[in-house]
Structure 1
């Protein structure tokens, strides 16, 4: 029988006598990675706050890195954070809701609570099950407007324990018991058909992962393989389903439209790079560090900063200078060097105002970073990114004006040290099956993974200089292989 762990904000949030399952606070779960080591519990996250970078958010994020199955996932948290992120689900949900009208006696309530896919009455069970298929969450609250014989959904949101009435808490505990006696089910997938690739771009982006000229080169290579490549922009979400696959070539962030495009593509059954889960995993350095450590992939000595008390631990463990990182940052932004306790305190105080957790790492100075591209779990390209002139990072954002980048030196895979490739591939395989850029530092003590990027640079004449058009051919074939497996 599966073991269950319930995470709460405060230990008093749930009556321990009401459930046989283990109850701990999300704080304890975050602070003790060794808890449940060697086990694969099913985790129910009942935090009162699932906001981005809250403890509730990190609890689900790190549950995934520990191999624990969790609801809600961070994908669900993000989906429900804004109406525009879940509006594609509303037509199907509203149809199901309105089919319940007869069973509900002709009137649909203005508020409906669904606990683990179970409605308050059997009359709306069909809708509740569909809602749970879309958004796997312990407790959901649906605000409804019923006008002229048609019920429309105004809002879908989480219902924390703190806002439940006593009657709702009793019902919630009963539904919890019903749910934990069931087998864990995977969420639904949706498929769509046609045979051309969409490439999401922003022509005005300052540091895009691929230049438009590089994407034109890919289009020429793909055309010889019977594939049409067409650029789209953030205005084209509504027509995404007209394409067969999606390649995102804007800098990704789970808080902007790139995540919406990836999520929509996944819901349509389209092969997509970057997929939503890879975006969530790679854009957060807290998750990456714990995932790499768990899988014995070498990373620099690291201390997690959750508050002022951790600064002294970081200073004693790592020494100075050390590198402080905001969990979600790209192109060397949100990554700074602290050379003294005073600098560390000032920087950490500033950043902790916006993020519950920071990462501090040992400073490993090198003249370059290795970047190994990995696609489908196999090495794709190899390059040195050189440090920006008179700077310790490959991109210098501190000079004012435009960012200053260092140079590069491309390698064939055969000309790259095998131990560097091996570590990069191990790191990428921890994330998924898509396209990743693994940044590594080669030191006298060994090779260390600094970062795994879900949205790596891929430009003609740079990343492809070693392996030539084989890079683009393999990229195209990655999509084709997945389409053929779907029988398209």
Structure 2
């Protein structure tokens, strides 16, 4: 990935101050073919971003040339008048005041922030949120400290020409931090056309993809002109610098993964998982209704909305039955009740957290089918075997580390056609992204248990049947949407 830095004058930034290419905004505007066939990331350091100024046109034309640029014209307009950014002030002022103690109890009249980095670590929370709202290289915030509560008087751009001698080195250090990238191979076989962000949590116990698997994908994507780079939950403010987002953390509507998906969608980026798929897949109540409406087979199910439904579930499904919290994942929040007393105790406890529960017919099998579906077409097929001496594929009841069952892999050609076809029908009800459909194959037929919006995808496991085709198709899914 190449970075291009635009300045108002050639003397504004010394060429040896950064390894990245520096040109004036005049040259950038005058030579539209300068980066033909490339997709550089542009940092616009013009001395003015006023309407119809060179700085304004540089960002405007960068977007028309397919170049990623900060600040965007939208950010320039937002910061041109206080009334245009007033909606951001309550959240920003809350974060600002939470920093008071770390700052020794008082705020300066002005503070400067470079690429989401503040003057000291005490500003971190506020600096990242400010950059999340307004992605600009350098911002100056005027603060009025009323001792008990500080307010923001003004947010404005800080041009290079107005930076003090003390601020310049901090700006350059922040620039270096911002443009620093991981997972880069110095000898890429194909010049990168795009850069994909992969959201990961290095400390997650059961991630949907291991770091080693993502590194393997990065090698394949590189051959297709794509750089794959890891980001973490701290990097929301940097998301717009990428072309696409692949979320490889366990998703939840209530955590940062949903916010990343929403931001990617707002930026017009292809994203897996997209916000709507998250909403649909993370709630088993919705999934059951959706599958039933579309005539996709699911186990006999009873919705539990009050204690009055306990007996209905028992009479309809018999025992044992399976009780589920609507937004459970990885076999968590899924329990088996073997009699009415267990059902009543478990459901009563869970209904303190959720107004609705799902009870389903217990269907014991030695494995669950997992069919991966991408863009409405089958991607891979595996058996997830039940954990040893347990009825689920993951056993969380041991009190220690979760115990997983084994895996048996298949080519799509060898997987039963009716299983694959049912999985594809189920996934198409959700959307056009990547899904993992869990099915039980019984003497009474095939039943969809769940559709997962961020299914496991690991090298040597889910890709064993179709090999590198899995990763190639994944990369191509993003490319197709970018090149439309």
Bucket of the pairwise TM-score, normalised by the shorter protein: 0.5 to 0.7
1:456 to partner: Cα distance:
0.1
* Change beyond 3 A, Cα 1:244–1:368: same
* Partners of 1:317 and 1:462 in 2: CA distance: 38
SS of equivalent residue, structure 2 residue 471: helix
Partner of 2:303: 304
* Partners of 1:91 and 1:404 in 2: CA distance: 52
* Partners of 1:378 and 1:148 in 2: CA distance: 51
Partner of 2:315: 316
SS of equivalent residue, structure 1 residue 196: strand
SS of equivalent residue, structure 1 residue 304: strand
Conserved? CA contact 1:98–1:150, under 8 Å? no
Q: How many residues align?
A: 315
1:195 to partner: Cα distance:
1.9
Partner of 2:270: 271
Larger Cα-atom Rg = 2
1:438 to partner: Cα distance:
0.0
Structure 2: gaps spanning 5 or more residues:
1-73, 91-148, 156-192
* Partners of 1:278 and 1:249 in 2: CA distance: 14
Partner of 2:205: 206
Superposed counterparts of 1:142-181, under 5 Å:
none
* Partners of 1:343 and 1:252 in 2: CA distance: 30
SS of equivalent residue, structure 1 residue 228: strand
1:478 to partner: Cα distance:
0.0
Alignment of 1:402 with 2:391, yes or no, is no
Conserved? CA contact 2:194–2:225, under 8 Å? no
Partner of 1:439: 438
SS of equivalent residue, structure 1 residue 222: helix
1:286 to partner: Cα distance:
0.3
* Partners of 1:196 and 1:417 in 2: CA distance: 37
Partner of 1:449: 448
Alignment of 1:461 with 2:460, yes or no, is yes
Superposed counterparts of 1:90-239, under 5 Å:
98=83, 195-239=194-238
In angstroms, what is the RMSD of aligned CA positions? 2.5
* Partners of 1:206 and 1:354 in 2: CA distance: 24
TM-score (norm 1): 0.62
1:303 to partner: Cα distance:
0.2
* Partners of 1:224 and 1:146 in 2: CA distance: 52
1:444 to partner: Cα distance:
0.2
1:338 to partner: Cα distance:
0.3
Conserved? CA contact 2:78–2:85, under 8 Å? no
Conserved? CA contact 2:322–2:335, under 8 Å? yes
Partner of 1:246: 245
1:98 to partner: Cα distance:
1.7
Alignment of 1:375 with 2:360, yes or no, is no
SS of equivalent residue, structure 2 residue 341: helix
* Partners of 1:297 and 1:422 in 2: CA distance: 10
* Partners of 2:253 and 2:307 in 1: CA distance: 28
SS of equivalent residue, structure 2 residue 390: coil
Structure 1: gaps spanning 5 or more residues:
1-88, 102-109, 111-144, 152-193
Any runs of at least 4 consecutive aligned residues in structure 1 with deviations exceeding 2 A, and if so which?
Answer: 89-97, 145-151
SS of equivalent residue, structure 2 residue 330: coil
1:233 to partner: Cα distance:
0.6
* Partners of 2:152 and 2:332 in 1: CA distance: 52
1:97 to partner: Cα distance:
7.6
